[in-house]
Amino acid sequence: MFMKWIAAFLLLAVTACGFTPLYATLDDKQVTNKTAEINIVPIDNYMGYLLQTNLRNQLNPEQIKAPQNYDLIVTLPEPLISDQNIQEDFFSSRERIIQKANYKLIDRKTKQVLIDTTTSATGSYNITLEPYATYMSKERVRENLIKILAQTISTHVISYVRKEVHS
């Protein structure tokens, strides 16, 4: 009985503070409509295309047609690749990749920069005796890092939009 009272109290305390799950689905129509107004500026190269596609799917999953009032500009610098696990023969059996993404959210009407920041994701892969297997491992890690970056960027943008809509 005592545990039920504690659980009820905690539930009331959490809801009273305005808590909303950060990774909740966008069931708020105002936020969904506002994120549909974001134009994702094309990003160079294949990894940029993957990032742009992932961002579009996360920011406007319902593919709502809306006027494009904001620009999301993302740049992907070349990833930083470093050796790990250097063996006695001075060859590395593992490499680490750090992929950064610089992004800005700009209001088209006022030209005001609403968000201007950088994020990064890190991954690693094994270097094998088979060059093709190593290449495929590297590409898989890079694709996964792009997905992580897209999730991080979209979460930041959605949080910003949610704060603006509900303030």
Half-sphere exposure of 86 (CA within 13 A, CB side): 4
Give 28-165's CATH code, choosing from 3.30.160.150, 3.40.50.1860, 3.30.870.10, 3.30.1360.230.
3.30.160.150
Q: What is this structure's pTM?
A: 0.80
Q: What is the pLDDT of residue 27?
A: 55
Phi, psi (degrees; rounded to nearest 5) at 15? -75, -30
pLDDT score for 30: 81
Instruction: Spell out the domain ranges in the chain.
Output: 28-165
Residue 38: is its pLDDT beyond 80? Answer: yes
How are beta strands 70-75 and 38-40 bridged, if at all? parallel
The dihedral through the CA atoms of 140, 142, 147, 148 has a sign that is positive
Q: What pLDDT does 29 receive?
A: 80
What is the average per-residue pLDDT within 5-18? 62
Mean per-residue pLDDT of the chain: 86
36/13 Cα distance (integer angstroms): 33
pLDDT of residue 26 exceeding 50, the answer is no
Report whether 102 contacts 74 (CB < 8 A): yes
pLDDT over 80 (residue 163): yes
Q: For position 141, what pLDDT does the model report?
A: 95
Percent of the chain with pLDDT strictly greater than 90: 59
pLDDT tens digits along 131-159: 999 999 999 999 999 999 999 999 999 99
DSSP letters for 104-147: EEEETTT--EEEEEEEEEEEEEE--S-HHHHHHHHHHHHHHHHH
Q: Averaged over 4-32, what is the pLDDT?
A: 62
Where residue 23 falls among pLDDT bands split at 50, 70, 90?
very low
